Structures are given as C-alpha cells and as structure tokens.
Amino acid sequence: MNDSVKLLKSLTAVDGIAGHEMAVKSLMLDYLTPVSDEIIEDNLGGIFGKKSATNGDKTLMVAGHLDEIGFIVTKIDTDGFLKFTPIGGWWNQVMLSQKVTITTDKGKKIRGIIGSKPPHVLSPEERKKTIDIKEMFIDIGVKSKKEAEQFGIEIGNMITPYSEFETLANNKYLTAKAFDNRYGCALAVGVLQNLKNESIAVNLVSGANVQEEVGLRGAKVAANKIKPDLAIAVDVAIAYDTPGMSGQVSDTAIGNGPVIIIMDASNIGHVGFTKHIKEIAKKHNITIQLDTTAGGGTDAGSIHVANEGTPTVSIGVALRYMHSNVSVLHTDDYKNSVALVTEIVKSLNNDIIEQIIW
C-alpha cells in the first residue's frame, strides 16, 4: 500500500461528524506538524499548517473539512432501540440495514444496525414507498433502555457510518466512508509534504475546517482568522459515470482528473483564479474536468464572502455514491489533484495574485 493510500485509509477510518471532529483534528495535527512552520487553529476546531513565504506577503488558504455525514442519538426507547437524526444530508433509501458506530462520551465504540419493519409485514402499498427516518431505529443488541445506558449510550452521542476501507477489482478504485471530505484533509497534508523542502513566494495555510456538512460554518471562522488573499476549497464532486447518471447534466467521471467547480449553489468560482488554474494544469500536463452543479455547495461558499471578499475556487475529485456508507474514489484523481494544487502554490507570488484579483 503506497503512502497516498495509507493517508486516505487512516483519515477515513477516524469518526467525526460536525461538532464532533476532535479525533480527526488530532490525527491532522500529527500529519501537519512535521511539514509546517506553525500550526493555526480556530476556536471551533479548524486546524491548518502554515508554510511561510520566503519572498512575498500574500496568503493562499487551502481548506478541506474535517467532518463527515452521520447522525446523533435523539432517544433511547424502553426496549433499548435508538432513535436518531441526520447530521448532514442523507437520502433515506441508502440508510436501511447499514452498520453504524455509536461513540459514547467516554470514547467507547458500539456497533449498531439501522433497522425497520421487514418487507414480509409491509402491505403492497407500503412497499412502494421509501421508509421515513422517523420509522427507522438503531439496534445495538440490548434488551432495555437501562442496558443501553449501562453501555454508555446517551442522547447526543455521535453516530457514524461503518464501512471498511477496501480496494475494488481495479486497485486504483478505493471504497470507504468519509471520502467526503477526508480526501480534502489528505490533500491539504499532501501539498505541504510536497513543498516541505521548497521555497515558495506565497504564505500557504493548508488544512481543514469544521462543520461544513451543516452549513459551511467552520469556514467562516477560519477564513476570518486566516484572512487569505486567495483560497481553494477542496472537496468532492459528483461522478456522473454510473448507470442512470451518464450523459445527464455533466460528464465528470472518476479517473479523468481533478474537477474544477465553475459554480454551484454556494459559490461562483472566481473567474481570474479559475483561468490561472486552467493555465497551470495545461502547463504541467494535468488533465482537469470542469463542472457546474445547480445544488449543493462547498466551503467556498463561506470563504469567498469572508472579510472584504476572498477570490475562491473549489477543486475536487469525482466521487461515486456520495453521502452514503460507501463511496468510491480513484487514486489517480487524488494524486493529480495534489499535484495540481502543489503547482498552483508554486506559481503564485505577489504580482501574480494581484493580476488574478484584478
């Protein structure tokens, strides 16, 4: 297993939904410290490594986000079954019969299964309908509320998807939970690793925000603290290369290179910065894809309106089965996105940034 895959595996294995990102932040600190001149943290939990410019005073912010989608416990019924509510966007049909992990306040990990009535007892009419989340429950294998509480279960406990990190038939295809957006965390580390022994002409602040999945909240705080002149929000993009998706709206596909998001519901990519990125990709023979997304958004939506305005572009990789227990990413896309952002950093200086902003 190469270093890039090991990095992705270790970051996706950690559990951390919005507001509960502490373990992910701790692991990021371990990765960022050896390759950074200093560590920058905000009061909500965002963490960044800074590599200082040897010549120049402008700042580029590269930001993934620490949190993954999940749930929290909202009720323990008398028989010990757990009711829950989503933290982040979920489609009901991908939730049933999936394994989850409940993390207690003391850090104990308890496996659970999302259940509902079996099809055998559903009427023909009920079978045609999707199951509402309020009809679902989590079974942790106890007989009573008291027994569940003895294992440390409480209202507000974090619930995360459970899925093993694996390679598929072609070992460049990886599947795991939380590629959205531990991919961005891995990229933030990878770029600093690439530049550790190089001189750059822009201050690079590279890391990850908190609470993206519940409204791009942490990015507001981090951008106000860092006060960047330019920013790249690093996140995943939708793959349209599966049955029922191909040829609709977009042609982005996994394995075809990093995705530059021209616009989404939260941000219109800065035109000058987008043009510069396309030029850098061409210069270094890095194949890119361009995408527009009518719905959804990334931390670019908060960063670009921070302070007096921050020219921001979102760069990602196409991801299959986003916001589910399993997602699929292509290793070539990850490596090429790290290479692209590395070259973007190396291309910047005071004059170039002023030209981009103008």
Binding site residues for Zn(2+), as ranges? Answer: 65, 180, 213, 235, 323
* Cα separation, 208 vs 128, whole angstroms: 41
Nearest by Cα to 259 from 220, 286, 227? 286
- Estimate to the nearest angstrom the gap between the alpha carbon of 31 and the chain centroid: 17
Residue 274, classified by CB atoms within 10 Å of its CB into exposed (0-12), middle (13-18) or buried (19+), is buried
In DSSP notation, 295-318 reads S---THHHHTTSTT---EEEEEEE
The Cβ-side half-sphere exposure at 292, using a 13 Å CA radius, reads 4
The Cβ-side half-sphere exposure at 31, using a 13 Å CA radius, reads 29
Strands across the sheet with 230-238, in order?
38-41, 47-51, 203-209, 59-65, 230-238, 312-319, 259-263, 289-292
* Cα separation, 344 vs 358, whole angstroms: 18
Token readout for 234 is: 């690093």
Token readout for 286 is: 């890095």
- Estimate to the nearest angstrom the gap between the alpha carbon of 297 and the chain centroid: 12
* Cα separation, 192 vs 50, whole angstroms: 8
Token readout for 76 is: 């323990």
Residue 32 · residue 47 · CB < 8 Å? yes
149 catalytic per annotation: no
- Residues annotated within the binding site are 65, 180, 213, 235, 323
* Cα separation, 273 vs 285, whole angstroms: 18
Residue 319 · residue 239 · CB < 8 Å? yes
Using only C-alpha atoms, the chain has a radius of gyration, in whole angstroms, of 21
End-to-end alpha carbon distance in the chain: 44
Given 212, 279, 308, 354, the catalytic residue? 212
Active-site amino acid positions: 212
